[in-house]
Amino acid sequence: MAGVRWICVLALAMMTALPAIGQTPPADASKPASTGTTETASGPRWVLDQPVHEFGNAWAGMVLTYPFVIRNVGNEPLIIHEAKPKCACSIAEDYTREIPPGGEGRIPFTLNTAGKHGPVSETISVRTNDKTQPWLTLEMRGHVKTICRLEVIDDGVARPGTPEFNEIRYADGNFGRIKSDQHLRRVIRMENTSGLDLNLKVIGINQASERFKAELRETKPNQTYELTITGIPPFPDGYTEGKITFTTGLTESPSFTIGAYAYVPPRIEVMPPKMYVDPKYPIQPIRALSVKNNGSKHFELLSISCSNPEFKLKLMPQNPTKPNTREIKVTLPLGQYRPPAYGDVIRIETDDSERPVIDVLVLPEVGAEAAPRPDNQPLLFHPGEMN
């Protein structure tokens, strides 16, 4: 569960989701001016017979999908311009873009319940060309059950009772920023919240390297366990991750996973390392890039540029409270901008001999890798504004 929260944080860092200025949906967007009418209205007019889907009870980690049906009772085509989820855990899958008069369309709403527990309500705001009421809201709600309640009870760095420990108390296996030669150790209490007899056993750890180890001890039969995660240096620059998988002995939810993560910041750290502009998610037109010096060797930024001439880049003035960091304001192209599959490129040039050129790709799908760049699309860079 912590692993999913960590991934979400990264995703949001790369692709922050806020409605564009002047396009904030109204609070009562879930109800049309008239619902269920059969009388043909003038212009496009949407009707949503079921704005809320109650999914009942679901185990954390389940991915739920429900196709909301929208009808057009107007006499002109109804256009669905965009569908904006409230958070990255929700997705508006490929939906009907145009609904003819008298027809109906679908917006499949997908909700990932990983990392959630208790009462859950997530929404997607939909913008249409219905002039009487352009916005409507779709909602998925229900109750998410969890296998275990996780709590850190011991850590190799932060001592219990300190503010530092309180910050990681519910961080599970996320060790955050570490040093490459750092030894890691954390003990997590796993308390049964399923209401059934729990029989946890570690299956193994799925990881690219062998940095993480896990040991499970039962402290109260079928109810409470202690998981000890250790991390063995050296850790490479960047992210090291593993997924610890358990069997549960429960028929309804036979497996359970906890993520283990650690991040060694490189000497020159660029955040985010990639940007995503994914039409499945809300798009924020203004982003931020930061370049941080984590070492002792000084370097300067010489230039900033982008392969897309419609991008606007601006190096912001030095923040005196962050002397080792420079920030770049990135303004995306106006309109329904979508990066090509091979990505637009933001280029940062420095006077550092080890990293004279830093490229940040802007890609059209979260988690995607860039496709090969076509021969007829050579890289040409357009300068940004230096301060």
- For residue range 110-152, what is the model confidence (pLDDT) as tens digits? 999 988 888 999 999 999 999 999 999 999 999 999 999 999 9
Query: Do 28 and 63 fall within a single domain?
Result: yes
Query: Do 182 and 300 fall within a single domain?
Result: no
Q: Which of 214, 194, 189 shows the shortest CA–CA distance to 204? A: 214
Query: Do 124 and 164 fall within a single domain?
Result: no
Residue 258, classed as helix, strand or coil, is: strand
Other CB atoms within 10 Å distance of the CB of residue 25:
18
Query: Do 286 and 301 fall within a single domain?
Result: yes
Q: Report the share of the chain in percent with pLDDT over 90.
A: 75
**What are 15-28's pLDDT values in tens digits?**
443 333 334 555 55
Query: Do 20 and 140 fall within a single domain?
Result: yes
Does position 1 have pLDDT exceeding 80, yes or no? no
Model confidence, pTM: 0.70
The pLDDT of residue 24 is 52
Q: Which of 212, 236, 264 is the last residue of a domain?
A: 264
Query: Do 121 and 196 fall within a single domain?
Result: no
Cβ-contact 72, 102 below 8 angstroms = yes
Query: How would you classify the pairing of strands 98-99 and 90-92?
Result: unpaired
CA distances to 41, 54, 306 from 141, rounded to whole Å, are: 31, 5, 42
The pLDDT of residue 32 is 44
Query: How would you classify the pairing of strands 224-231 and 268-271?
Result: unpaired
**What are 254-272's pLDDT values in tens digits?**
998 999 999 999 999 999 9
86 is in which domain, residue-wise?
A: 2-144
Q: Which of 144, 169, 191 is the last residue of a domain?
A: 144
Q: Provide CB contacts within 8 A for 163, sequence distance 6+.
A: none
The pLDDT of residue 209 is 86
The mean per-residue pLDDT over the stretch 172-189 comes to 96
Query: Do 202 and 309 fall within a single domain?
Result: no
Query: Do 124 and 69 fall within a single domain?
Result: yes
User: What is the average pLDDT score of the chain?
Assistant: 88
Query: Do 130 and 236 fall within a single domain?
Result: no
Query: Do 30 and 96 fall within a single domain?
Result: yes
Q: How confident is the model at residue 287 (pLDDT cuts 50, 70, 90)?
A: very high
Q: Report the alpha-carbon distance of residue 171 to residue 260 in Å, rounded.
A: 10
CA 20, 123, 104 angle in degrees (round to 5)? 90
**What are 70-87's pLDDT values in tens digits?**
999 999 999 999 888 887
| Total number of domains constituting the chain | 3
Structural element, H or E, at residue 6: helix 2-14
Q: Which of 90, 113, 144 is the last residue of a domain?
A: 144
Q: Report the alpha-carbon distance of residue 115 to residue 61 in Å, rounded.
A: 7
The CATH number of the domain holding residue 343 is 2.60.40.10
Query: Do 36 and 112 fall within a single domain?
Result: yes
Q: Which two tokens stand for residue 377?
A: 């699309």
Residue type, 366: V
Q: Which two tokens stand for residue 212?
A: 């993480």
The pLDDT of residue 342 is 96
Residue 41, classed as helix, strand or coil, is: strand
The mean per-residue pLDDT over the stretch 240-247 comes to 95
Query: Do 273 and 291 fall within a single domain?
Result: yes
